[in-house]
Structure 1
Amino acid sequence: MVKKYVLVSGGVISGIGKGIIASSTGLLLKTMGLKVTSIKIDPYLNIDAGTLSPLDHGEVFVLNDGGEVDLDLGNYERYLDVTLTRANNITTGKIYRDVIERERKGDYLGKTVQVVPHITDAIQDWVERVAAIPVDDTGEEPDVCIIELGGTVGDIESAPFVEAMRQFQFRVGHENFALIHVSLVPTIGSVGEQKTKPTQASIRDLRGLGLTPDLIACRCEKTGLDEGIQAKISMFCHVQPHQVLAVRDCSSVYHVPELLREQGMVDFLWKRLNIEQTISITPALKEKGNQMWKRWNELTASQARLHDSDTVTIALVGKYTNLQDSYASVVKALEHACLALHKKLVIKWIEGTDLEPEACEASPVKHHNAWQDLCAAQGILVTGGFGRRGTEGKVAAAKWAREQKVPYLGICLGLQIAVIEFARNVCDMPEANSIELDENTTTPVVVYMPEISKTHLGGTMRLGLRPTEFQNGTEGSVIRKLYGGGSTVLERHRHRYEINPELISKFEAKGLQFVGKDETGQRMEIVELADHPFFVGVQYHPELLTRPLKPSPPFMGLILAATNELQKHLAAL
């Protein structure tokens, strides 16, 4: 079967937006009736993203199979509406581990194992193998694989991957391989002059490594490239003017596919990859693609029509708010719910530590502003996280939401925080805590799961897609209704700790209902406070399965409750 590959690389600076460009490219090709998959290459030595700090690398995205991967795979799944596996995220650690294991088994027959050809061959073999894995319900192999090369061209750690891709273009053939290079065209000085030298240097480095771009996506602040800039980049970077695309800053990343399509990306790739002659597209897939593009346009158009009167303000209380990419999927889930409900989202980022009494002494202004934002919010979201820092501030936020009847959604640690707060202030357990936060607590409300390793951190949590069973007698549950009223829900998990099952009867006697449990009935999954407009905690991470055209039910509930529309919505179900 003919397979097409589109490589997306980046230059000048990291974080330039390769993930959005790659996702948008895949979306555009899928709307034309092609079956698309994606691979992210991360040139770090970690086996996966599981042990990386969110402040260092953004959020850890979890897949159905439990793979802890780069956040860009979340973009791929959301844009393409596909289900990826841990194999779709390649790291240097995975490749070297694979090669070393083969060497230990004697697979190389006494040869000296080297970066070239053994590491580069392993990378190419991995790409071809993963590109053939079905990613949707059809069970058919994808037609196109989008490969995003992480980091910046010229980085020493990405050199083996660049060399592998240089070889790969000849391995698969010219008409089956295209390269999009994302670069920066900065605006310098008081007159706002756009400069092309960074892009020229980046392309020169890329060509020196044996790769020639077919499209150059130029990130720029203005509405586009200034007159003459496109021609200048074309001349010095050895491409035609129509191969230089202006990717301006947009009000929403959901406008990027439209921006690229308007500049002829689809037409160019269609001809460059000879898709018309080499891939058979069924009428059913073509029509499905047309409908997908129509719905995407409706989504972006409705977003553009929103007014300030449609605003909803959500306080996001977290631990890593200094880097908003730490909560990328949470933000997307909120956005998707707001888009579905025609609301304009305003997030108030609140660091948990700023809500704590100690912050009043250390930084009274921050403390005051944090509480002001919390009190003014229409809804409160307490996110997941690890470690003690900021947890007492999260407990205070949960207490405020419960007592003041402010809509509340707790995710993972956010569920545990809600139960700890309830235990302390409603169940007369002033010492209630999690053993993660206080190993010596006399009232362990949250305990270590017995099957989890205490010595190894990587890949040892309760991970991946798992069922939650709604309990008998919960037919009137708000969260159950939001999920459609069924008995089971499948969501992705990532946690080491759980609510102490020995204390459940005490909590439920006071009105905190555990409406969802795992298949054994022993592990708490969903908690709900009945006498409240919306007070829900979930042990799983519902943000990981959200889609622009299919928002997550718990986030829908939070936004509906925050805008006083929840009961009307439930009545219409």
Structure 2
Amino acid sequence: MKYIVVSGGVISGIGKGVIASSTGLLLKTLGLKVTAIKIDPYMNIDAGTMAPTEHGEVFVLDDGGEVDLDLGNYERYLDVTLGRENNITTGKIYREVIEKERRGDYLGKTVQIVPHLTTAIQDWIERVSHLPVDDTQSTPDVCIVELGGTVGDIESAPFVEALRQFQFRVGQENFALIHVSLVPVVGGEQKTKPTQAAIRDLRGLGLVPDMIAARCVEPLDRSVINKLSMFCHVGPEQVMGVHDVSSTYHVPLLLERQGMVQFFEKRLHLDVKGGIAPAMKERGNDLRKRWKELTIGHDHLLEKVEIVLVGKYTSLQDSYISVVKALEHAALRVHRRLDLKWVEAGDLEPQTEIDNPVRYYASWQSICSAKGILIPGGFGLRGTEGMIGAAKWAREHRVPFLGICLGFQIAVVEFARNVCGIQGAGSAELDANTSDPVVIYMPEISKTHLGGTMRLGLRPTLFNKDSERSSKIRKLYGGAEAIWERHRHRYEINPEYIDRIERGSSKATSQHTSNGGRPSTPPPKGLRSLPTSPSLNRQDSAFRPSTPVKAGTDKLLFIGRSESGERMQVAELMPTSSSDKGHPYYVGMQAHPEFASRPLNPSPPFLGFVAAAAGQEILEEQLHVQKNYHAPHPPSLMILESERLRRQEQEAKEGVAINGTTEKPATTPPGASN
């Protein structure tokens, strides 16, 4: 096993994740199998309870792990499937050490940072680095380890010391270090002093960089490279200039041109010629070819597709990084340049017209001119009325629409209010006293513990049998009967309202009874068993559409449900008559398909959405191409088995087990923070 550690200096957020991912991608082009580990020095057990505006997006893995967004970069670039243990946090390490101490594993010794904590870190890295992460199901050849934060921070000190020891544990020929630093421009001159100071601090801690990735606005001058080489004790060929580029997809090729691959072949004694199977070499060559075509194609795109993202956390665009990447992947597939406009959901609400009319009308202008409208996930009341207004505009004006998680629930609430006539339709997340709770808290989810208690990870969705011919979203999945996507939510569509919504009526029928929010009838026809293989404001938006489509032209159908048939997971707007072509694309998904999107294999819901925004002909072309779609990675048997055991345990208990105690679900949901 070869280990390449990526650390950072001077400032945080310098691009370590992209450089780590790009390094792994280049090694994969040689035919090597690559895995990745991210170290986050914060005390949180995981990223699940952190606000998106605090730390960026919470990325969800197949096994339900809520992790740092950099693991999303690893999965996208390396086309691998990682697990929750690929993300190490201070909280996880301390918890593991304390549990060992409580069990008496240390045999009465005084437990200290060195050697007990640092040894636990090394053991974790060595154990996880050997886990298979791709379809070969074999042990990786190289592990990329990214150390989050900035070297010199007090919280990262134990990890730096652990890595110092680790280089001797695995051997110098199996350990290399890339240090990412900033070369700022002051008065038109590229300054090297910050990097010199960062390298000096790093060497003082016992780590000597094998390569310096110098981040800068413009390409590094040759004199600057020579200066960094001289004062940082590395050769000129070990200084990589990483300047700003039009797309992060260019970074691997930028590093390759500067000789990164050749350097690591020598430094880590990689037997590229004789030690790699011919089949893996062929895969590596194919990856290099396709990636070059991707980047070259991106630069030559002339036509653009305009998408408006209506979100709650637009102040930090990293909050939606997977959504943006999924849109980029889809745009590249349809040969369009993505033109993404950001609209803060609260700016669409009537109160903003009073407080800041300029922002209000500018935001609505973006909505009115949009070729496609996307509402991503989120939590809490803020901005949801603006989202409802945007969903209404997209539905009535037949603008391509995609709703993810909260966006899916928003679309259902909007349809229930404005088409079905259920005036009090709302969400129990936002108003516990809503008269018509179309969206309710899932009964098995804890109301006292937030971390790791949501419905998380890879879950199946089964399509209705009668959706095979008419559903666009099912065609985008290649006509599959069942699909697997990652979930992250606490609320669901209330089954008692499904019939009314699908009929477009405000009146309930007798087939639904009050049963704790669960339907008393069996699952709808067409749903089969799981395959064995792997307070919303009552005031409507003040902005009225000028030429809406006649109400009732389209119907909202829940065409995708959980394996039990009780949970609504995919909704699509369908025409009521065969003579009407219907809405070009109006889809809501409870899952987060953006987490599984790849540059060379875009997510089907995003592909259909962007294709529809680019034009009906483009959408029809992609629907035809997607007949041959195959999911990139089927669910592992481990995940299926763990899910089965989880359900079995849950059904055996009356309430929800939390920390060894059994609690009955609360009658009202807690207030959700923004």
TM-score, normalized by length of structure 2? 0.83
CA change 1:571–1:336 in 2 (3 A) is: closer
Q: How much has 1:278 moved relative to structure 2? A: 11
The 5 Å alignment of 1:109-120 reads 109-120=107-118
Asked if structure 2 preserves the Cα contact closer than 8 Å seen for 1:179 and 1:214, the reply is: yes
Q: Secondary structure at the match of 1:464?
A: strand
The residue number in structure 1 matching 2:71 is 73
1:216 partner letter:
I
- After superposition, where does 1:221-236 map in structure 2 within 5 Å? 221-222=217-218, 224-236=219-231
5+ residue gaps in structure 2? Answer: 505-554, 575-581, 628-674
Tell me by how many angstroms 1:568 deviates. Answer: 4.0
Aligned to 2:42: 44
Residue 469 (structure 2) pairs with residue 499 (structure 1): no
**What is the DSSP-based 3-state SS (H/G/I as helix, E as strand, rest coil) of the residue aligned with 1:299?**
helix
Q: What does residue 289 of structure 2 align with? A: 294
Alignment of 1:478-497 (within 5 A): 478-497=472-491
Q: Which residue of 1 aligns with 2:564?
A: 520
CA shift at 1:138, angstroms? Answer: 1.6
Deviation for aligned residue 1:571: 4.8
State the shift of 1:363 in Å: 1.0
Counterparts of 1:460 and 1:200, CA distance in 2: 45
Closer, same or farther in 2 for the Cα pair 1:50/1:465, shift >3 Å?
same
Aligned position for 1:359: 352
**RMSD (Å), alpha carbons:** 1.0
Q: Quick one: which amino acid aligns to residue 560 of structure 2?
A: G
Write the deviation string for residues 26-81 of structure 1: whole angstroms up to 9, x where unpaired: 00001101010000000000000000000010000000000000000000000000
Amino acid at match of 2:584: P
Structure 2 counterpart of 1:284: 279
1:161 shift after superposition? 0.2
Q: Does 1:197 align with 2:197?
A: no
- TM-superposed deviation, 1:567: 2.9
Indicate conservation of the 8 Å contact 2:10/2:198, yes or no: yes
> Quick check: 1:404 aligned with 2:457?
no
Q: Distance in 1 between matches of 2:274 and 2:49?
A: 41
Pairs aligned (count):
566
Counterpart Cα distance in 2 of 1:421 and 1:569: 29
- Tell me: CA distance 1:83–1:238, structure 2 relative to 1, closer, same or farther (3 Å): same
2:583 paired residue number:
532
After TM superposition, the structure 1 = structure 2 runs for residues 19-418 of structure 1, keeping only pairs within 5 Å, are 19-189=17-187, 192-222=188-218, 224-276=219-271, 280-307=275-302, 310-418=303-411
User: Does the Cα contact within 8 Å between 1:143 and 1:279 map onto a contact in 2?
Assistant: no
Question: Percent identity, aligned pairs only?
Answer: 68
Q: Which moved more, 1:508-517 or 1:258-267?
A: 508-517
SS at match of 1:419: helix
2:265·2:272 contact (CA, 8 Å) conserved in 1? no
Task: Kindly provide the amino acid, as one letter, of the partner of residue 238 in structure 1.
Answer: H
**Residues 366-413 of structure 1, C-alpha deviations (whole Å, 9 max, x = no match):** 111110111111000001000000100000000000011100000000
Q: Alignment partner of 2:213: what SS?
A: strand
Equivalent position amino acid for 1:545 in 2 = A
Any stretches of 5+ residues in structure 1 without a counterpart?
A: none
Q: Which amino acid aligns with 2:445?
A: I
Superposed CA offset, 1:192-240 (max 9, x none): 1100000000000000000000000000101x11231001000100001
Is the CA contact 1:35–1:143 (under 8 Å) kept in the aligned structure 2?
Answer: yes
Q: Deviations over 1:250-292 (max 9, x none)?
A: 1000000000000000000110001128982101101100001
The superposition leaves residues 430-453 of structure 1 with CA deviations (integer Å, 9 ceiling, x where unpaired) of 111100010110100000001100
Give the aligned partner of residue 647 of structure 2.
none
Local SS of the residue matching 2:20: helix
Name the CA shift for 1:125/1:378 in 2 (closer, same or farther; >3 Å): same
Alpha-carbon distance in 2 for matches of 1:280, 1:416? 52
**Normalised by the size of structure 1, how large is the TM-score?**
0.98
SS of the aligned residue for 1:438 comes to: coil
Q: Which residue of 2 aligns with 1:542?
A: 593
Alignment partners' CA distance in 2, 1:329 and 1:61: 8
Q: For the residues of structure 1 that align with 2:45 and 2:342, how far apart are their CA atoms? A: 31
What letter corresponds to residue 213 of structure 2 in structure 1?
A: A
Task: Provide the secondary structure at the position in 1 that maps to 2:602.
Answer: coil
> For 2:313, what is the secondary structure of its paired residue?
coil
Q: Secondary structure at the match of 1:228?
A: helix
Letter in 1 for 2:151: V
One-letter code of the match for 1:497?
Y
In the alignment, which residue of structure 1 is the partner of 2:622? 569
Residue deviations 1:138-189, cap 9 Å, x none? Answer: 2110000000000000000000000000000000001000000000001112
